Amino acid sequence: METKKTITITVTILVIAMVAFTIVLIWLSANLPSALDSSEDMYEYANGPTDEEPNMPIEEDPAEEPTYPPYTNDEGPAEEGAYYSYPNEENPEHYPYSNEENPEYDQYPNEEHSEHDPEDQYLNDPTPTLPIFTREPLPEHIIAQITGVTFHETTPFDYSFLTYLTVTHVNFYGESTIGHLIVAAEIGDEVLEIFQEIYQSRFPIYSIRLIDYYDASDYLSMAANNSHAFNFRYIAGTNTISRHGFGMAIDINPIQNPYIRGNTIWPAAGAYYLDRSYERPGMIIPGGPVYNAFISRGWTWGGNWTSPRDYHHFERR
């Protein structure tokens, strides 16, 4: 009798254990995937993405973005050479990059180009022989390109007043690349000498393109960190033609060398380069290769002006 009772209790315990085990299996099959996901999420939170998941882009901290000063709707500075202030022009959308590649406006001689440079023999030549420093009268396709953009019916001289330069410069990757400028014909040889000297120093220039590619807009050209020369226009608020209007001024690396007047900084990304004692690539400083190349030939530097202070601007009188 006692043996029978013991067997009954044992069987009952086994049945209860099997039922409990079955319940546990059912619960695990329903909840294990989410439990594993939760565990993986906790691991990723602490240690970064797991090997099974692709690395997701990390958004920049908004606090690290530069502060873009408001557009000043003033009459323009009265000082000589202050030519960027257009009181009736809307301030376009900013382009807050300094060293990023702008795919629409990039200028590398070995890359395929869009319709911007359909006839440029150097940009379309896959194996140009560098360095190149040449001048020529404005080619027909360049005349067609600048007419109505930087060259207008009111321009008080004809196309022969200008010359088209092909120069080689070192970009921010340390590579030799091609750039183009339009300047007054009388200083063409001198400008070639200047850029040869700059090239030999290995000073980096981000981009040298005709400002016509930016619809003759200083804002867009500066935001793209583009260096340029000729652009026929008047000093804001005056009837005086700017030195750029005669092809007698050249701007270089405007982001690293911004225009400053009061609280206005152009381009906005140039705010990173207000401390001129902290020298970084592309900055023009007194005694540096760009400064010496221009000043030794009688050019004036906007960085020496009191107000405005135009670090990217050189002009010839």
Task: Encode the chain (317 residues) as per-residue pLDDT tens digits.
Answer: 556 666 677 767 777 777 777 776 776 666 554 444 444 443 333 333 433 333 333 333 333 333 333 333 333 333 333 333 333 233 333 333 333 333 333 333 333 333 334 334 444 455 567 899 999 999 999 999 999 999 999 999 999 999 999 999 999 999 999 999 999 999 999 999 999 999 999 999 999 999 999 999 999 999 999 999 999 998 877 889 999 999 999 999 999 999 999 999 999 999 999 999 999 999 999 999 999 999 999 999 999 999 899 999 999 98
Q: Where are the beta strands (DSSP E) in 218-294?
A: 249-251, 259-261, 264-266
Q: How many residues does the chain have?
A: 317
Does residue 150 form part of some domain?
Answer: yes
Does residue 68 form part of some domain?
Answer: no
Residue 161, domain extent: 107-315
281-313 b/e (C-beta count within 10 Å ≥ 16 → b): ebbbeeeebbbebbeeeebbbbbebeebbbbbb
The amino acid at residue 158 is: D
Does residue 10 form part of some domain?
Answer: no
Does residue 160 form part of some domain?
Answer: yes
- The CA-atom distances, in angstroms, between 14 and each of 8, 21, 179 are 10, 10, 88
Residue with tokens 């557009």: 71
Does residue 225 form part of some domain?
Answer: yes
Confidence at residue 128, expressed as pLDDT on a 0 to 100 scale: 64
For the chain, counts of helices (H) and of strands (E): 5, 9
Best CA proximity match to 231, nearest among 253, 255, 212: 212
Does residue 22 form part of some domain?
Answer: no
Confidence at residue 305, expressed as pLDDT on a 0 to 100 scale: 95
The secondary element (H helix, E strand) that includes residue 316 is none
Does residue 308 form part of some domain?
Answer: yes
- The CA-atom distances, in angstroms, between 169 and each of 108, 173, 203, 257, 298 are 11, 11, 8, 17, 22
Confidence at residue 307, expressed as pLDDT on a 0 to 100 scale: 86
Best CA proximity match to 205, nearest among 274, 266, 134, 257: 257
Q: Is 255 helix (H, G, I), strand (E, B) or coil?
A: coil
The number of beta carbons lying within 10 Å of the beta carbon of residue 87 is 12
Q: Which residues sit opposite 204 in a β-bridge?
A: 170
Confidence at residue 32, expressed as pLDDT on a 0 to 100 scale: 52
Peptide bond connecting 267 to the previous residue in cis, omega within 30 degrees of 0: yes
Q: How many domains does the chain have?
A: 1
DSSP 22: H
Confidence at residue 151, expressed as pLDDT on a 0 to 100 scale: 97
Does residue 134 form part of some domain?
Answer: yes
Best CA proximity match to 150, nearest among 51, 217, 65, 196: 217
